[in-house]
């Protein structure tokens, strides 16, 4: 039994499978006799107080503002590594997925806006279909194993990372609330300390954690979304130390399993619980549900593929050896798996007020439909457009 668990955790697709399992479990809880227990559990008040400083939030907000900040540290680490030595470390490497990512952010937002132009109460959800879930998308890709060309995996990874950068910018600009000057000053001091530690090549991970906690608490109180603290912490960890240490890689290896197998599944369980009670065909026809679902399924596909195709045809970018436009199209469909990041953005857009409770349910339903269809269709097209690896081709 233990060996079977170890083998499962070593699978590339394991994190994506866990996300799906916990999301399904959440939907079952939310639509069963246990739904009161499920929603009461998420509403459980949790408080931390040190002297005059205190944080009082329901459990759901601790998951979204606290645990997801840890996930965004990992995002910051991955983005920095890829920018310095990885898939987007040069103009030639970055331009093709960057253009695809740009299209994958603009077109879904446009699709959502067009479908909700007569519904002003829904329009703040325009950013929801912009996101791509890295873990889920790469998990689906991993199900096909070695038949997927390496260059195609790199394209999806780089595109998803740039997509995350776009989401970070959107969160910073559009989802910050009334700002606290004192908290911002405290956050600025913490950032300066992190930058100094980076310049001095400090490699002790615990030092970044301690200062990072101060930064997170300050950003949380400032009105800027707390997960941005995670990104800043990730960017401040140095790639190499004075004696050849690799703190960024070390921190990434520490956080990756926690994020993949605990934090993201917990987030999925906490946010995917959509109650279907009272929902009908009219619910599915809601501009909010349709805008999110079609933004992910159609907007992502058209945006990523269209921008990528014309970038190559206009000579701005070059298609990597070993892949073709059919495979790029399949990956473009796969980018419609918004799931985790889309759920997160839906919470930012509609989770602030009790009156928006129905809105967030409609948005989450659209995310589940759009992400599910994108996953199934993307997997099917990739299987159709890639060839199985034969023993001779492996020689």
Nearest CA among 125, 152, 126, 128 for reference residue 138: 152
Neighbours of 165 (CB within 10 A): 18
Residue 31 in 3-state DSSP?
Answer: coil
Beta bridge partners of residue 55, listed in sequence order: 48
What average pLDDT does range 187-205 have in this prediction?
A: 95
Q: What is the DSSP string of 131-179?
A: ---HHHHHHHHHTTGGGS-HHHHHHHHHHHHHHHHHHHHHHHHHS--SP
Report whether pLDDT(354) > 70.
no
Between 138 and 178, the more confident residue is 138
Q: Which of 122-136, 190-204, 378-392 shows the lowest mean pLDDT across its residues? A: 378-392
Q: What is the mean pLDDT of residues 307-336?
A: 91
* Residues 96, 74, 258: CA angle, nearest 5 degrees: 130
Quote the CA–CA distance of 124 and 111 in Å, as a whole number. 14
Backbone φ and ψ of 50, nearest 5°? -130, 105
Minimal CA–CA distance to 11: which of 255, 330, 257?
Answer: 257
For the segment 181-201, the average pLDDT, to the nearest whole number, is 93
Q: What is the mean pLDDT of the chain?
A: 86
Q: Which is more confidently placed, 44 or 175?
A: 44
How many angstroms separate the CA atoms of 72 and 77, rounded?
8
Q: What is the pLDDT of residues 213-260, one digit of tens each?
A: 999 999 888 877 777 899 899 999 999 998 889 999 999 999 988 988
Which single residue is written with the structure tokens 């907000």? 61
For residue 349, the model assigns a pLDDT of: 86
Q: What is the reported pLDDT for 377?
A: 96
pLDDT score of 7? 53
How far is it, in rounded angstroms, from Cα 227 to Cα 239? 21
pTM of the complete model? 0.76
- Model confidence band, residue 344 (pLDDT cutoffs 50, 70, 90): confident
Q: Which of 2-11, 41-50, 93-102, 298-307 has the highest mean pLDDT?
A: 298-307
pLDDT digits (tens, 9 = 90+) for 57-102: 899 889 988 998 898 898 889 888 888 887 777 777 788 999 999 9
What does the pLDDT read at residue 9? 46
Copy the structure tokens of residue 228. 């941005």
Closest C-alpha to 70, from 246, 297, 227:
227
Structural domains in the chain? 25-275+282-385 (1.20.1530.10)
């Amino acid at each position: 039994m233990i060996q079977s668990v170890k083998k499962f955790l070593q699978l590339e697709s394991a994190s994506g499978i866990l996300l799906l399992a916990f999301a399904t479990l959440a939907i079952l809880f939310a639509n069963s006799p246990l739904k009161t227990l499920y929603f009461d559990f998420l509403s459980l008040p949790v408080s931390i107080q040190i002297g005059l400083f205190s944080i009082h939030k329901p459990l759901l907000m601790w998951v979204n503002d606290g645990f997801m900040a840890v996930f965004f540290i990992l995002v910051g680490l991955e983005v920095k590594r890829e920018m310095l030595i990885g898939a987007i470390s040069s103009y030639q490497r970055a331009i093709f997925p960057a253009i695809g990512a740009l299209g994958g952010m603009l077109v879904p937002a446009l699709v959502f806006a067009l479908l909700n132009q007569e519904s002003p109460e829904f329009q703040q959800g325009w950013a929801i279909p912009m996101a791509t879930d890295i873990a889920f998308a790469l998990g689906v890709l991993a199900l096909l194993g070695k038949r997927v060309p390496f260059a195609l995996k790199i394209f999806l990874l780089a595109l998803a990372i740039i997509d995350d950068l776009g989401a970070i910018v959107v969160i910073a600009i559009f989802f910050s609330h009334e700002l606290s000057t004192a908290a911002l000053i405290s956050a600025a001091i913490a950032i300066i300390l992190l930058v100094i530690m980076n310049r001095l090549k400090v490699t002790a991970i615990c030092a970044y954690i301690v200062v990072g906690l101060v930064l997170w608490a300050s950003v949380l109180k400032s009105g800027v979304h707390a997960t941005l603290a995670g990104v800043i912490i990730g960017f401040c960890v140095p790639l190499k130390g004075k004696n050849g240490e690799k703190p960024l890689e070390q921190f990434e290896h520490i956080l990756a399993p926690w994020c993949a197998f605990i934090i993201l599944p917990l987030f999925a369980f906490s946010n995917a619980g959509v109650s279907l009670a009272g929902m009908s065909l009219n619910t599915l026809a809601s501009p909010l549900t349709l805008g999110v679902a079609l933004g992910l399924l159609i907007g992502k596909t058209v945006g990523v593929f269209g921008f990528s195709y014309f970038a190559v045809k206009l000579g701005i970018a070059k298609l990597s050896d070993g892949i073709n436009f059919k495979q790029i199209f399949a990956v473009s469909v796969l980018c419609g798996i918004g799931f985790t990041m889309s759920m997160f953005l839906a919470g930012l857009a509609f989770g602030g007020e009790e009156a928006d409770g129905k809105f967030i349910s409609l948005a989450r339903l659209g995310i589940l439909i759009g992400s599910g269809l994108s996953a199934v269709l993307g997997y099917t097209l990739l299987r159709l457009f890639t060839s199985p690896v034969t023993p001779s081709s492996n020689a």
